[in-house]
Each structure stands twice: as structure tokens, then as C-alpha cells.
């Protein structure tokens, strides 16, 4: 507005200057056409010509406004619709964050019709429909998003995979992202989807296969990665127990040694699996190594259940621990079992009784009952059998 006013003032000043100059030196404007000649004072001609130019300009502007009116109206309606779409989109996102999924979905879809980035509305509407459990509408919105931005097919495939996992359909989820397997090491979202899908499928071999790529992905938190490793080891051990995997159990232990040794509970499960396959020497080596770094009653108990090639040597090893862990019932139980194998009956009896005093357990009573029965001490065997039954059936 100010610019137009300045231009008008400059033009007016120039026009006035020209008029004053002409009036000081009056002249004529002469027009001839054939035999016709018209003479006008120069001042009148300049004023008339200026007025004619202004009138012509105004007439053209008026015609322009008349002919462009429909376009201007459409543009104004479009701007108004876009502003309303932006408001609907904003309110829809607020509703989504606040947990009002149904209203969020309604506002986001309403805002998609005039939004510049309609695919964003459809994606968030799909998320809202997913939260509502309306999977048909969710898929419909994803299709609309794909139509509005076909170049972003990869993004929508990842989103579909996420939704299908939440729906409990891991196989369909993997179908959506199978072409992205090469990006596991670089994309934490894709890595998480693959890991979750294999976990849901209990496909521990496949999960174990992608762990090297998961380890290369520095965006995955260490505790999350360790949990995946632990679940993988547990799953593979369970599959091995059922005969569903051909992977050698000792190779598994070497592959995931740090994971196994970092968790006593997992280590106990692994030692049990070694025992079940008759790998007693490997199990003993692992237990001895772990107990050398930290104490674990569960592992000590497993040491007593192993079949040692040299029971006397195993007993000597276990007796080295008694100095620092004299009050550990599991250690006394293990020592009692090892003494039985070495046929040191009195020492076995003493260790088992001290274990029972430290922690009354049915399995300790069973060991004592078996020992007394072996020694033909039927009354003592009966007494410990009865006590063991009482402990086993005790309501806690």
C-alpha cells in the first residue's frame, strides 16, 4: 500500500511539473489526416491524453476483475479449505496423542481431502484405526496413503509389517519386509521388526542368524541385544531338547558363551541341556570356570549331578570351595553326592545332613534315604523318606 502511494506521488509530481513547464511555454499539438488538420493547445492535449490513459487502465482492470472472478473465488475457497484441513489435521494429532483414537481418525481423514501432505493424514489415521482394532479400515487408509505417495512404498511396507506384528501375524509381517533384510545392520526399526517376528514364530535358528547383523547396529541398546541373545539361547536349547534343531549344543555354547556366562539361570539351563545329551565333561568345565569368577548355588548343585570321569578329583575340586562357602546348602549337597560316588559313605552322610540342617529340602532327604538304604539302615532310610515326603507336600 505504501509503495503504491509513493509511486502515485512521484507520478503526480512529474505530471504537475510537466504541466507547469508547458504552461510557461505554450504551444500547439497538431494532428493531420489527409486534408483534415486539428490543432489543440499543448496543455489541453497533455491533460486529455493523461486522463484517457487513466480511464483506459481502470477499464482494463475492471474487465480483468470481472473475467477473473471465478478463478479468484475458487482460489479463496481452496485457501479456506486448506486452512480448515490444517486445523483438522492438527486437532486429529492432538486427539491421537491424548488416546482418543476414534475422534483422531475422523479428524485426520477429514483433513486429508485438502491437505498438501495427505499421506501423512492417512498414515496417522491408519495408526488410529490400528489402536481401535479396526484392521480393515487400517488397510484401507494405507492403500490411500500409497495412492497419494507411490514413491514411498518402502515406508508403508515397514509400517504394514509393524501393524501385522501387533496383530499377531508374524509370517505376513515378514513378507512385507523380506526385501529389507540387508538393512538390519543399519536400520534399528527394520532390525526390531525382524527380531520380533522371529521371536513370535519361535524361529530361533533364523533369529540366531541375524544376531551378527543386530550386533553391528549401534542404535540397538545393549540390554535389548542381550535380551535377544538370551531368548535365542533359551529357544535353541528348548528346541534341542525336543530334537527340533540340528545345531550342536557345544557349538551353541561357544557361540553364545558371553551370554550364557553372564546369566546364572541361563547357565543352569545350558548345563542341564549338556547333561541331557551326556556332555558331562563340557558341563563340568563350564561350571568350574564360572565358579572360579563368581559364586552360584544353582551351578554348584548342577556340578553334583554330573557324571564325573574321576569322582575323587571332582570331590577335591568341590572341597576347595567349602572354605569360603561353608554355609551354602547346595555345596554341602553336592559334596554329599560326590562322596557317595567315591563311596566315602560317612563323609557323604555328614555333608548331606549338614545340607539338610542349612536348608531342609526333599531332594536332600531323598539322597540320605538312598544312602541309608544302600547301607542297609532301613529305619533311617524310612525316617528320611517320610521327612522328604513331608517337605515335598508342604504347603507354603
Domain harbouring 332, CATH code = 1.25.40.10
Q: Is residue 360 part of a domain?
A: yes
Range of the domain at 324: 308-396
- Interval 279-295: pLDDT, tens: 999 999 999 999 989 99
The reported pLDDT for the residue numbered 109 is 86
- Interval 232-262: pLDDT, tens: 999 998 888 777 665 688 888 898 999 999 9
Q: Is residue 223 part of a domain?
A: no
Query: Which is higher by pLDDT, 11 or 380?
Result: 380
pTM: 0.71
Over residues 120-139, the mean pLDDT reads: 91
Cell output for 210: 541375524
Q: Is residue 376 part of a domain?
A: yes
The reported pLDDT for the residue numbered 91 is 87
- Interval 204-213: pLDDT, tens: 999 999 999 9
Q: Is residue 220 part of a domain?
A: no
Q: Is residue 115 part of a domain?
A: no
Number of domains in the chain: 1
Over residues 217-245, the mean pLDDT reads: 88
Over residues 264-269, the mean pLDDT reads: 93
pLDDT class for 81, splitting at 50, 70, 90?
Answer: low
The reported pLDDT for the residue numbered 277 is 87
Q: Are 104 and 96 in contact (CB under 8 A)?
A: yes
Q: Is residue 355 part of a domain?
A: yes
DSSP-derived letter for residue 7 is H
Tell me how far apart the alpha carbons of residues 77 and 92 are, in angstroms, rounded to a whole number.
Answer: 22
Q: Is residue 268 part of a domain?
A: no
- Interval 297-343: pLDDT, tens: 999 999 999 999 888 899 999 999 998 999 999 999 999 999 999 99
Radius of gyration of the chain (CA): 45
Nearest partner of 167 among 129, 204, 195, 205, judged by Cα: 129
pLDDT class for 203, splitting at 50, 70, 90?
Answer: very high
Q: Is residue 162 part of a domain?
A: no
pLDDT at residue 112 tops 70: yes
Amino acid at each position: 500500500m505504501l509503495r503504491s502511494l509513493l509511486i502515485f506521488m512521484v507520478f503526480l509530481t512529474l505530471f504537475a511539473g510537466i504541466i507547469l513547464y508547458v504552461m510557461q511555454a505554450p504551444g500547439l499539438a497538431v494532428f493531420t489526416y489527409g486534408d483534415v488538420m486539428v490543432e489543440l493547445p499543448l496543455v489541453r492535449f497533455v491533460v486529455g491524453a493523461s486522463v484517457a490513459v487513466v480511464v483506459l487502465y481502470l477499464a482494463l482492470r475492471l474487465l480483468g476483475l470481472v473475467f477473473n472472478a471465478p478463478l479468484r473465488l475458487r482460489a479463496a475457497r481452496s485457501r479456506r479449505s486448506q486452512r480448515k484441513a490444517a486445523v483438522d489435521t492438527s486437532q486429529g494429532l492432538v486427539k491421537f496423542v491424548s488416546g482418543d483414537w476414534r475422534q483422531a481418525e475422523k479428524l485426520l481423514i477429514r483433513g486429508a481431502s485438502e491437505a498438501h501432505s495427505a499421506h501423512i493424514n492417512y498414515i496417522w489415521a491408519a495408526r488410529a484405526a490400528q489402536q481401535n482394532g479396526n484392521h480393515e479400515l487400517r488397510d484401507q487408509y494405507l492403500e490411500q496413503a500409497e495412492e497419494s505417495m507411490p514413491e514411498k512404498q518402502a515406508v508403508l511396507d515397514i509400517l504394514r509389517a509393524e501393524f501385522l506384528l501387533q496383530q499377531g501375524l508374524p509370517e505376513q509381517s515378514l513378507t512385507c519386509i523380506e526385501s529389507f533384510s540387508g538393512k538390519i545392520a543399519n536400520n534399528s526399526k527394520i532390525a526390531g521388526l525382524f527380531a520380533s517376528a522371529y521371536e513370535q514364530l519361535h524361529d530361533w535358528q533364523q533369529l540366531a542368524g541375524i544376531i551378527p547383523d543386530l550386533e553391528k547396529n549401534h542404535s540397538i541398546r545393549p540390554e535389548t541385544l542381550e535380551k535377544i541373545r538370551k531368548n535365542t539361547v533359551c529357544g535353541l536349547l528348548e528346541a534341542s531338547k525336543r530334537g527340533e534343531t540340528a545345531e550342536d549344543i557345544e557349538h551353541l555354547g561357544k557361540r553364545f558363551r558371553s551370554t550364557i556366562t553372564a546369566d546364572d539361570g541361563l547357565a543352569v539351563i545350558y548345563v542341564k541341556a549338556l547333561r541331557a545329551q551326556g556332555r558331562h565333561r563340557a558341563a563340568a568345565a563350564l561350571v568350574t570356570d564360572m565358579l572360579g569368577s563368581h559364586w552360584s548355588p544353582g551351578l554348584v548343585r548342577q556340578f553334583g549331578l554330573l557324571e564325573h570321569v574321576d569322582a575323587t578329583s571332582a570331590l577335591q575340586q568341590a572341597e576347595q570351595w567349602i572354605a569360603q562357602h561353608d554355609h551354602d546348602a547346595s555345596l554341602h549337597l553336592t559334596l554329599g553326592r560326590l562322596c557317595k560316588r567315591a563311596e566315602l559313605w560317612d563323609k557323604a552322610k555328614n555333608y548331606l545332613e549338614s545340607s539338610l540342617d542349612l536348608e531342609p529340602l526333599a531332594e536332600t532327604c531323598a539322597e540320605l534315604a538312598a544312602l541309608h538304604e544302600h547301607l542297609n539302615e532301613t529305619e533311617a532310610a524310612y525316617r528320611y523318606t517320610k521327612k522328604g515326603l513331608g517337605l515335598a507336600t508342604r504347603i507354603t
